[in-house]
Amino acid sequence: MRRFDTVLFDLDGTLLDTLEDICGAANHTLRELGYPERTLAEMRRFVGNGAEMQMRRALGADADEETVAKALALYKPYYAAHCQIKTKPYAGVLELMAALKAEGFRLAVVSNKPDATTKTLAARFFPGLPAFGQRDDVPPKPSPDLVFRALDTLGVAAADAVYVGDSEVDVATARNAGLPLAAVSWGFRGRQALAEAGAAVIVDTAAELLEVLR
């Protein structure tokens, strides 16, 4: 992979292990609505396409639109208030980000997590890192719109950027935005799912990712 000026990162499953806090907030919401709780393994499959799709999957196919709306109204503020309990960076990620910054890369987060929570977590773990999360006026990934918004804000051409993610959604996002992808196997999906989705570059450690991006 040739040298790029800018690296755009997915957040959940790529930089941060957020699954337990997501699952906790989802199960709080399900309990409040009288639905059965979901396991970590189930939630791992449900995440990736934003909060609305996540909660639709958690509720099940029989949930009507009113129930979905109630679920989102409960989930979003609860998760925002409880998103930093067990969430932590993956092994080597802090060192990776420090090395990339020291070498002059421009870095940013582009996530399907709600925008406010994306910014909260980025500010805590990666101070100063620009962060772009899902908003009502921007369609979620795999639409390329969030990527384009990030590039426009940074003043970067798509030809100078690479996308890093851990899921099929990220593979499709990079493809739709016309960006090369470096996929990480340590996140929510794993190497096989990424390969089946068409990821050509898959790395297993943060150190390996650094070498690929250099």
What values do phi and psi take at 172, rounded to 5?
-70, -35
Question: What does DSSP assign to residue 138?
Answer: B
CB 195 within 8 A of CB 202: yes
Catalytic residue check, 10: yes
The reply to whether omega before 144 is within 30° of 0 (cis) is no
β-bridge pairing 88-89 and 16-17:
antiparallel
pLDDT tens readout for residues 84-132: 999 999 999 999 999 999 999 999 999 999 999 999 999 999 999 999 9
Q: Single out the catalytic residue among 10, 12, 17, 21.
A: 10
User: Is the alpha carbon torsion for 70, 120, 86, 149 positive or negative?
Assistant: positive
The pTM assigned to this predicted structure is 0.92
